[in-house]
Structure 1
Amino acid sequence: MTLQRGKPIAFWGTAGAGDEVSITVQNMTASCRAATNGCWRAEIGPLEASFQETIQIASGDDSVFLHDVQVGDVYLAAGQSNMEFYMRYDADFADEMETCTNDDIRFFDYPEVSYPDQINEADYGRNFGFWRRATADQLQWFSAPAYYFAKTLQARYGVPIGIVGCNWGGTPACAWMSEEAIEEGGGGLYLEEYREALADLDPETYENRFRTDPASWRTEPFADAASVMLMEGRILEEILRGLYGDMTPPPQIDFSAMAPPMGPKNEKRPCGLYESMLSQVAPYGMRGILYYQGESDGDAHPELYATLFPALIRCFRRLWNDELPFLFVQLAPFGRWMQCVGEPYAIIREAQQHTADTVPGVGMAVITDIGMELDIHPKKKKPVGERLALLAEKIIYGEDVLCEAPTLLGMEVKDGQLRLRFGNVGTGLHLAAHTPDGAQTHPARLGGLTLALGDEELDCSSIPATADNDTVILRSSEIRKGRITAELGRGGWFRINLYNSADLPARPGRLTTNEGVTHIH
């Protein structure tokens, strides 16, 4: 395993009622007594960074020895499917397999259980609940964003990096929060909807359906052919052929009808995964939290995310009793996939930006350049992990680095030019001919830009653009003084090709100007 350096570290477990338990590591010993129910918890440390330790846990004549323990920096990788996203689906997986071997990067994935007792009702231990090393035979199991994050930091600082995965695809923020935090964040509607669902539920029918549904038991993540094809980015027609051959006519599948009903064992229920997963991981010692989530809130009540997300951050910090740095990923551009549409995700991005601007100790990784119009799971996760690592270098390790995305601050109309001014540019902006995922863009156009003169929208695809230090200059005879609205990254799908000197793409923004008076939205 990997333990967190520089902080007192909690160990917990069970023993005989009233028995004394001792922990010994790095010439330190901590002791405690088990409670009447046999549960015990002890803290030891702080520990120094180390590549090889043995821990002894003793009670009476019994001892357990934990070998090959490292001490470095540990991060929680939380969220939904784009954080869960296994390396086997990553665009660079084959290349990474050639060079990945690094014993100083380790990964623990907590089993996906939707209620606390479920972990004892199936064989989760075959694939989850133990530490893996970054080796060719284990790499496919790693969270791709978290792996690239760990790889970057391990090379940068030369200490062991551990990742604890605690995530589940398709889950809303409220599933990862306590009831108190949901109420605090204005998410009472989720609690109300859940109570209404329970009132209409037949417990026996619900239990029978849950028990007999293979999707209830997530012990073999690569065994479900449909899920694998979805994560690989196959289109629906390919998936149906893979499942049913060339059946004519092809079957009509209602994916919403296939979803399990809301109830006390549904992973999307309010507080559910907070109780069955997150609370089981805490208080394992952490340096910080990585978070990639929000798509499911865009599909439900996006208007609540602006207050719910900051409350989630406070909830995580309360659970660990530590003001942990919180590094998250802003949702990628996206058009349509299965029954999801990307337009409401603009509301989630705005809420994420507001959180990044107002909540202390947080950082937002911007990926406005690597989304996929017809796939909710961008396959290029290397930039995601590296941009999270860049945030960590500044926020956690105190480095003097540019880690913020270019931010639209002002605009001016003059002599047929529209001049857009940005912050966080470093040594200057540039327009790229292609994005990190290989998509071609026009280096003389500003991708993702929409302009409106009054109520008339202009065709930005024909307006030349150049980058000059902190300004993008657009030249067109259509540009004139009056009420102009400029939006960068509007709606669901777009692709931004404007970067600062740290190669970070611009984040979404909106400005209006009316006779020289500019307003930021």
Structure 2
Amino acid sequence: MKLQPALIFGEHMVLQRDKEIKVFGTSAADDTVTVTLCGESVSAIAEDGAWEVTLSKKDACDKTTMTISSKVTEEVIEFKDVAIGEVWLAGGQSNMEFLMKFDYDFEETAKLPDDNKLRYFCYPQTAFKGFLETENNCPNWGFWRKWDDVENRKQFSAVATYAAMILRKKLDVPVGIVACNWGGTPAAAWTKREDLEANPALKPVLDWHESELEKINWAKYITASDKKAAPQDPHMQEVFERMMMGEDMSDFFKNFDPSVFMQADFVPFMPGPRSTVRPSGLYENMLTKVAPYTIRGAFWYQGEDDDARDWAEFYDESMKTMIKSWRNLWGYDFPFYQVELAPFKGVGPTAAKKYPLIRHKQAKAVADTEDAYDICILDAGEELNIHPRHKKIVGERLGRVVMKHTYGDNSLVADCPRVIGISKEPEAIVISFANAAGGIEVRDGLGEVLKISQGGLSKSYIAETDGDKLVLLLRYEAHKPVEIKYCEENFCNAALFNSEGNPVYGFEFEA
């Protein structure tokens, strides 16, 4: 066996500053592997062919070299142009995977100056061992890119990159994004099997998987999945590009029958033992190949697939369990930042079902988890586009929240306002908010998204603001509860913001 560092190690990579650096890979059994970086050399024995060394903490720098050598094979691998700075993992499904080339603002973003200290690595999407050989889906992934030429820039994750740009500006050190994501996948696919089994709330996910396995013709399934995939249908590629560019796809989805894919013996998204959506599949075949690459923390943007599978009711448990899996895999409790779902209605098989519930479960998951945060983007949705193209507002908001909570930059009014109190007064209901900054502001369309009712009857109101309070003037029966809902629809247009332009989280209360 040859000396082989893990795929994530390569030229132009960014390593995490101020933390011990893990370097790992494979070689001949019992080989002695030595890693040298910034004048420090550390050796390890390749027990059973696997090796891992731990380098001491390093300061930030933008040009250094790493060498990895084998005593048995006498190979020496040299990685040049290595940077040391901040490293963030970017996980989730298609809205995190969403490439910069599809972003609404890409034409202007592409004109930004080169930044050789902003770098990006995307781990190849891998559903099972041998998948890369059958799918041949690696040309654009599996190596480090720099923010230089336009072709490189097109391949960066839009959300993660806009967040990283905030970090670059504020910290002035190299920033590397490690993308590990796949569109149309549930949280359970990214979670360790033993952790799923240990949480009774997630039994429906495992039961679903077992029931799907019973339907499979195993001989045909394995044979088909071992075959090299046919070239992608140009028509389907055109459909994909149109969808990502936000074109109206309602006619396509009204006539689209997803069952046509189920007639094949193997499709990666079809439930089965080699599926992208099976419990723990992507945890085992992607995430464990990246870990324990040292990171500062993780970004996460996902939830659409769990909504589509009617798993919204326990999505908070899905997320808490997944975060636990990730932190255990890395061996430390890194900060975790979750982007809440954007407003979306949709049509056909992609139509939203319970997005407000998913958002509430997302909020509960981070509230129940130490050093975890979520980002409200109720102002960044599109009614018929599950991949809203305005990613700049999402990524920059994410970056500001990261700067505040991980790097301690309290000069930023980063967090979105959230309800902290509600009181009834004669002919008024007063709602108080945290993170109001200079005060709560009302924009057009509040009457469409903030609904008040009593005894099942809708109540009209006049809205006024008073600093961190929203005052709703109305007449109601004082002895009966009043129901108040804000942005509790799948699709809505945010109308409440703080003075810094951060949208208020959706809420539902009974006063």
TM-score w.r.t. structure 1 length?
0.88
CA distance in 2, matches of 1:206, 1:59: 40
- In the other structure, the counterpart of 1:511 is 509
1:254 counterpart = 2:257 = yes
Quote the offset at 1:269 in angstroms: 0.5
- In the other structure, the counterpart of 1:34 is 46
Quote the offset at 1:57 in angstroms: 1.1
1:170 counterpart = 2:214 = no
Quote the offset at 1:154 in angstroms: 0.3
CA distance in 1, matches of 2:234, 2:140: 9
- In the other structure, the counterpart of 2:454 is 453
Q: Which moved more, 1:354-363 or 1:334-343?
A: 334-343
Q: 1:238 to 1:508 in 2, by over 3 A?
A: closer
- In the other structure, the counterpart of 2:496 is 498
Amino acid across the alignment from 1:448:
V
Does the 8 A contact of 2:122 with 2:179 survive in 1? yes
Amino acid across the alignment from 2:124:
P
- In the other structure, the counterpart of 1:516 is none
Q: Which moved more, 1:384-393 or 1:278-287?
A: 384-393
CA distance in 2, matches of 1:396, 1:290: 12
Does the 8 A contact of 1:408 with 1:509 survive in 2? yes
- In the other structure, the counterpart of 1:274 is 283
Superimposed CA distance per residue, residues 304-362 of structure 1 (whole angstroms, 9 cap, x where no aligned partner) = 21212111111110010110100011111111244133241222111111122221100
Quick one: which of 177, 185, 192 aligns to 2:207? 192
CA distance in 2, matches of 1:488, 1:312: 29
Where 1:32 maps in the other structure, the secondary structure is strand
Quick one: which of 79, 83, 101 aligns to 2:92? 79
* 1:306-345 alignment runs, 5 A limit: 306-345=316-355
- In the other structure, the counterpart of 1:109 is 122
Does the 8 A contact of 2:133 with 2:228 survive in 1? no
CA distance in 2, matches of 1:222, 1:114: 24
Superimposed CA distance per residue, residues 149-193 of structure 1 (whole angstroms, 9 cap, x where no aligned partner) = 111110111010000000000100110011111123321221122
* 1:291-302 alignment runs, 5 A limit: 291-300=300-309, 301-302=311-312
CA distance in 1, matches of 2:434, 2:397: 18
Where 1:487 maps in the other structure, the secondary structure is strand
CA distance in 1, matches of 2:162, 2:236: 25
Amino acid across the alignment from 1:72:
G
- In the other structure, the counterpart of 1:159 is 173
CA distance in 2, matches of 1:376, 1:385: 17
Q: Which moved more, 1:22-31 or 1:254-263?
A: 254-263
- In the other structure, the counterpart of 1:6 is 18
CA distance in 2, matches of 1:210, 1:31: 40
- In the other structure, the counterpart of 1:287 is 296
1:369 counterpart = 2:383 = no
Q: 1:237 to 1:416 in 2, by over 3 A?
A: closer
Does the 8 A contact of 1:116 with 1:275 survive in 2? no
CA distance in 2, matches of 1:412, 1:456: 20
C-alpha RMSD of the superposition:
2.4
Quick one: which of 56, 59, 63 aligns to 1:52? 63
CA distance in 2, matches of 1:486, 1:111: 46
- In the other structure, the counterpart of 1:352 is 362
Superimposed CA distance per residue, residues 368-398 of structure 1 (whole angstroms, 9 cap, x where no aligned partner) = 1111111111111112111211221122112
1:395 counterpart = 2:405 = yes
1:146 counterpart = 2:156 = no
Does the 8 A contact of 1:179 with 1:271 survive in 2? yes
- In the other structure, the counterpart of 1:435 is none
Does the 8 A contact of 2:30 with 2:46 survive in 1? yes
CA distance in 1, matches of 2:399, 2:359: 20
CA distance in 2, matches of 1:155, 1:222: 41
Superimposed CA distance per residue, residues 188-241 of structure 1 (whole angstroms, 9 cap, x where no aligned partner) = 2211221222222111222344456858x89x999822211221222236769x
Superimposed CA distance per residue, residues 442-492 of structure 1 (whole angstroms, 9 cap, x where no aligned partner) = 4xx466211112211235xxx44232201112334x555342111112131
CA distance in 2, matches of 1:151, 1:213: 39
Amino acid across the alignment from 1:457:
S
Does the 8 A contact of 1:79 with 1:292 survive in 2? yes
Q: 1:223 to 1:164 in 2, by over 3 A?
A: farther
1:129 counterpart = 2:142 = yes
Identity of aligned residues (%): 31
- In the other structure, the counterpart of 1:64 is 77
CA distance in 2, matches of 1:500, 1:289: 26
Does the 8 A contact of 1:447 with 1:498 survive in 2? no
Does the 8 A contact of 2:250 with 2:384 survive in 1? no
CA distance in 1, matches of 2:45, 2:224: 43
Quick one: which of 409, 413, 416 aligns to 2:420? 409
Does the 8 A contact of 2:344 with 2:490 survive in 1? yes
Quote the offset at 1:146 in angstroms: 0.2
Quick one: which of 207, 211, 224 aligns to 2:237? 224
Where 1:483 maps in the other structure, the secondary structure is coil
CA distance in 2, matches of 1:330, 1:395: 17
Q: 1:114 to 1:146 in 2, by over 3 A?
A: same
Amino acid across the alignment from 2:492:
F
Count of equivalent residues: 486
Q: Which runs of 5+ in 2 are unaligned?
A: 1-12
Amino acid across the alignment from 1:474:
L
